[in-house]
Structure 1
Amino acid sequence: MTSRSRPIITRADAGWPEEWTAASRVYLDWDLCLLSVEHDGSITWDELQAIKNNLAGGVAVTIEVYPPADRVVNNIAMRHLWLLGDDEWWPDLGREGEVRPATLRDRYLAAQLIDGDRQ
């Protein structure tokens, strides 16, 4: 592996998990919180989840972004998983619990909504 900023793991490395059958190379950029997985085109959700769990932890939450058509870059079989911070909101398929502002921006916007209701 290289620096904490951008470790690269390949199928040729010792310790490559045998259940990672479609992935061929994995990049983890802790500065960007980006997990990029190069694969053979047949990668499954389960394999991506296993890679995420192995490298970022089982409690980590990642998302994929599907940009507007004119911003798509699709010249290699690679998936990009963006790691969310501990306090970032994400849709948890009905198990979201109590809604609470988590960031300064959220708290500011919530306060504006409350003030607007009072007027």
Structure 2
Amino acid sequence: GNGGRVNWWTSELANLKKKVRAHFKRAKRSRNWDSYHNLLTKYNLAVRRAKRLSWKNFCNSLEGVKDTSRIYKVLAKDKSSSLGALEGPNGELVHNPQDILELMANTHFPGCVLQQ
């Protein structure tokens, strides 16, 4: 395996995590939790941002039916996964699952027609 490594993890996130741990230890002694909570929030936002960017880059790298159908199979098997929202061509967020599928199909396979 890859030793538990994920492609979105960066040295900046690792450094931020170390700072969070240090602030946690300091807060336990001093009982001043504000600094720790602020840094933890910053860290969690950075992790979410990194994951989102990694997913976006992955989706942009998909080429052809084979890659895209593999993703569809994975998402279809996992009932807890959801597409969330995608950004439409005019910058609007698309939430409806059918509209998301149409957007993905038109983006990756221009001119294709989805069958119901």
Per the shorter chain, which TM-score range?
Answer: under 0.3
Greater fraction strand: 1
Q: State TM-score, norm by structure 1.
A: 0.24
Greater fraction helix: 2
Q: Which has the higher contact order (CA 8 A, sep 6+)?
A: 1
Q: State TM-score, norm by structure 2.
A: 0.25
